[in-house]
Structure 1
Amino acid sequence: MTTLPAKRSVLRDPTFLRLWLATTSSTVATWALAFVLGLAVLDRTLSAGGLGVVLAARTVGFLVAVPIGGILADRYPRQTVVFWSCALAVVSTPVLAFGGLPLMVCAAAVLGAGQGACRPAFQALTAEVVRASQRQRANAAMTFAVRASTLIAPALTALLATVVSTSGLLLGTCALWLIAALVPPRGADQAKRERDKPHREFLEGLQEARRHPWFLAGLAALSTVTAFGQSAISVALPLVSRDRYGTEAVLAAGVTAYSVGALIGALIIARWRPRNQGWAALAGLALFGFAPLSMLMPVHPVVIVAAFVAVGIGIELFNVPWFTATQREVEPGKLARVSSLDFLFSYGLAPIGLAVIAPAIGAFGLSAVLAVCAVVCFLAPAAAALVPSSRHLSVVRTRRSA
């Protein structure tokens, strides 16, 4: 087993740095796809309708592959699952770059499958190569790198687009996927276990998740906030920026403020160890309610920017302890399957929210929809906090406290 030495900083260990580089590369490559395809719409090599179909195919592939990836990552070495998942992305990207629309749709589904299958494997691999005492800082370092990349990469990509074609930019993401495939360290050699039918192995993951009420409550809160809060950002912010303020600057400032806040949140949670970690994490998640609330009334744009900074801070105050607790509390042989549930529901409900919020705005008005989104984002984490084990994100610690 490759594990960090007890006294070495996680940020100085070559084993973790390999994992950090691979995870960051895969996440940035995943993010880059939508942005680069958006550039293809701007230069008229892809229609807006075609973009929607391609991204929908990617999402379907992602959601189908996440639970499968969780099963495979608990059955085989996690490093191997990461390699083959990223290899799918490598081979499908050239087809996406140079194929016609039917081929692009098929390639996007395969690419999404690679993106989805590697997520739970990376989560489980982190638990294998990083000691429990250092995982929070490790997870914070990973999310910091991803947020920094998403803050800087749009400008860099737009600059590259002036000298490189959209197809060339897509091929450039192959390099990121190659890094993600080849760089990860070898984790622990998992004990051989009797293999069962895939659906039974998936049910074993569900049973393991049920052993952790804090996980189910937190996942319900996260999925709800993602569906309502993220939809408010994605749909309502452009409308507010255009119709209320008459400029796209508010949209750009809000999105940038969210990323800056997330960077700040990652720095804070890398060192902060609140006594009631679960309650603090859920309070951070509840800050998402300030996004729709800030857009509800005609306030100065600075108020919206400040709200989005708070939202960014809050989401990382939740994410990092959430990942760390899952890696600590869940049985190692079932960690990938439980992590796949996290990605399946938190990512899976987001498209539903996006599909519903625009018609809802047309039917009930922007203010009513924003008010509902704000209330839901505040109440969902509060409801999750009522589950006793949510206080510490641990059933064992809750029993000891009792």
Structure 2
Amino acid sequence: MTAPDTEDPARGAPPRRPLVLDSRFLRLWCGATASGLATWSLPFVLGLAVLERELTATALGVVLAARTVGFLLAVPVAGVLADRYSRRAVVLWAGLAAAAASPVIALGLGRSTALMAAAAVVVGAGQGACRPAFQALTAEVVAAADRQRANAAMTMAVRVTSLVAPGATALLAVVAGVWALLIGTGALWLVTGLLPPSGRAGPARVDSRFDFAGDFREGVREARKHPWFLAGLGALTAVIATGYSATGVALPLVSRDDYGSEFVLAAASTGYTAGALAGGLLMSRWKPVRQGWVAMAGLAAYGLAPLSLVLPTAPIVVVAAYVAAGIGIEVFNVPWFTAIQHEVAPDKIARVSSLDFLLSYGLAPLGLVVMAPAIEWCGAPAVLLLCALICFAAPAAAALHPSSRTLSVNGACR
């Protein structure tokens, strides 16, 4: 078994420098931010195309579904490749593939939904390949003691983008048009592929025969050595499949039917993003002693979002619940990513991360598919209440395992 990533001062490691002065981290941060911005932009830009009647709602659904398929297919493959070869190379080729496919989506706009869907599969594959590779590359580029701050900085960049980008994108659409914005997402993917730095000498295994199934099973075996990871992943999957899905379907309905406008929808969504930004800022400074329990409590806070929609209440209550949920999700995310980078064997980080993304995000579409008919048959209050209870119970159950207290099998706090 490869030992967890630790640093020995006796080896003469160079003195730590602030992350803002570290050019390698800044390149990594900018590349990851470009990836997040490109990922966020595509559905928003295509939504603008629907508003401008350049794309039908059905075609939009097909293209976004195709992107999800590409994501799910690429995540496990990229996890294996990034652990076998160079993490930097995986990011490079993933970014280049998505950059090349983005103009094809623009080319098919208003002409061929099939062409757009085929290109969206490639874009989704680029997105899926980047996620585990970036996780592993962060562990190579950033010193262990700085990784929590690095992960907080990355997630804060995504949240700032979510706050600022909608208005900026809508303004650019007026000036440049949807077609040009789609080309712009390709430019972002190009930055994603070209900008990040190389990591340490990678865990290349070119001397052995490539065996995807065997390598992937090896990643699963590594994940099973970390009970806190299995427990936390189960809780995260439950929260995303129920709480995220329920609020994604119910919030627009509640805003329209109970409050008579889109104000609550917009305010709650903005509140969630602002809360997540605050949560990322908090975790860039705070390293709790029992960080696993704190992380699970943060994940459970998402249950406040569906709970606030069960019965009609003042809009401020809904917004406050979403702010708390946003804070909580980053209180979970930052220690969670950092623990994977620190505790998992360095040559298996990408595969374990791919399991994380494959299960937690992979089951989200299934939750969305089930949620709409469930609300129609059972009523929104009953479904929302059940989902809120699951959001509270799943992290609480995960916290019961002793290793979940510190997200570490040996119980040591970092």
TM-score (norm 1): 0.97
> Shift of the alpha carbon at 1:7?
2.4
Q: How far apart, in 2, do the equivalents of 1:209 and 1:387 lie?
A: 15
Name the counterpart of 2:107: 98
Q: Unaligned stretches of 5+ in structure 1?
A: none
Name the counterpart of 2:342: 328
Identity of aligned residues (%): 62
SS in 2 for 1:189: coil
Q: How far apart, in 2, do the equivalents of 1:141 and 1:9 lie?
A: 12
Q: How far apart, in 2, do the equivalents of 1:77 and 1:192 lie?
A: 7
Name the counterpart of 2:29: 20
Please show how residues 23-62 of structure 1 align to structure 2 within 5 Å: 23-62=32-71
The one-character-per-residue Cα deviations of 1:108-150 (angstroms, maximum 9, x if unpaired) are: 0111001101110000000001011100000000000110001
Name the counterpart of 1:362: 376
1:288 aligns with 2:302: yes
Q: How far apart, in 2, do the equivalents of 1:307 and 1:195 lie?
A: 52
Out of 165, 171, 179, the position equivalent to 2:191 is: 179
Name the counterpart of 2:392: 378
> Shift of the alpha carbon at 1:191?
4.0
Q: How far apart, in 2, do the equivalents of 1:216 and 1:76 lie?
A: 26
Name the counterpart of 1:158: 170
> Shift of the alpha carbon at 1:5?
4.6
Name the counterpart of 1:217: 231
Aligned 8 A contact 1:232 1:291 in 2? no
Return closer, same or farther for 1:116/1:396 CA change in 2, 3 Å cut-off.
Answer: same
Name the counterpart of 1:389: 403
> Shift of the alpha carbon at 1:397?
2.1
Please show how residues 108-123 of structure 1 align to structure 2 within 5 Å: 108-123=120-135
Aligned 8 A contact 1:87 1:177 in 2? yes
Q: How far apart, in 2, do the equivalents of 1:333 and 1:273 lie?
A: 26
After TM superposition, the runs of 4+ consecutive aligned structure 1 residues lying more than 4 A away are none
The one-character-per-residue Cα deviations of 1:221-264 (angstroms, maximum 9, x if unpaired) are: 00110111111221100000000000001100000000000000
The one-character-per-residue Cα deviations of 1:14-36 (angstroms, maximum 9, x if unpaired) are: 11000000001001101111111
Return closer, same or farther for 1:48/1:5 CA change in 2, 3 Å cut-off.
Answer: farther
Aligned 8 A contact 1:6 1:131 in 2? no
Q: Aligned letter for 2:35?
A: S
Q: Aligned letter for 2:42?
A: L
Q: How far apart, in 2, do the equivalents of 1:315 and 1:247 lie?
A: 27
SS in 1 for 2:222: helix
Name the counterpart of 1:257: 271
> Shift of the alpha carbon at 1:195?
3.8
Q: How far apart, in 2, do the equivalents of 1:160 and 1:154 lie?
A: 10
Q: How far apart, in 1, do the equivalents of 2:248 and 2:187 lie?
A: 29
Kindly tell me the number of residue pairs found equivalent between the two proteins. 397
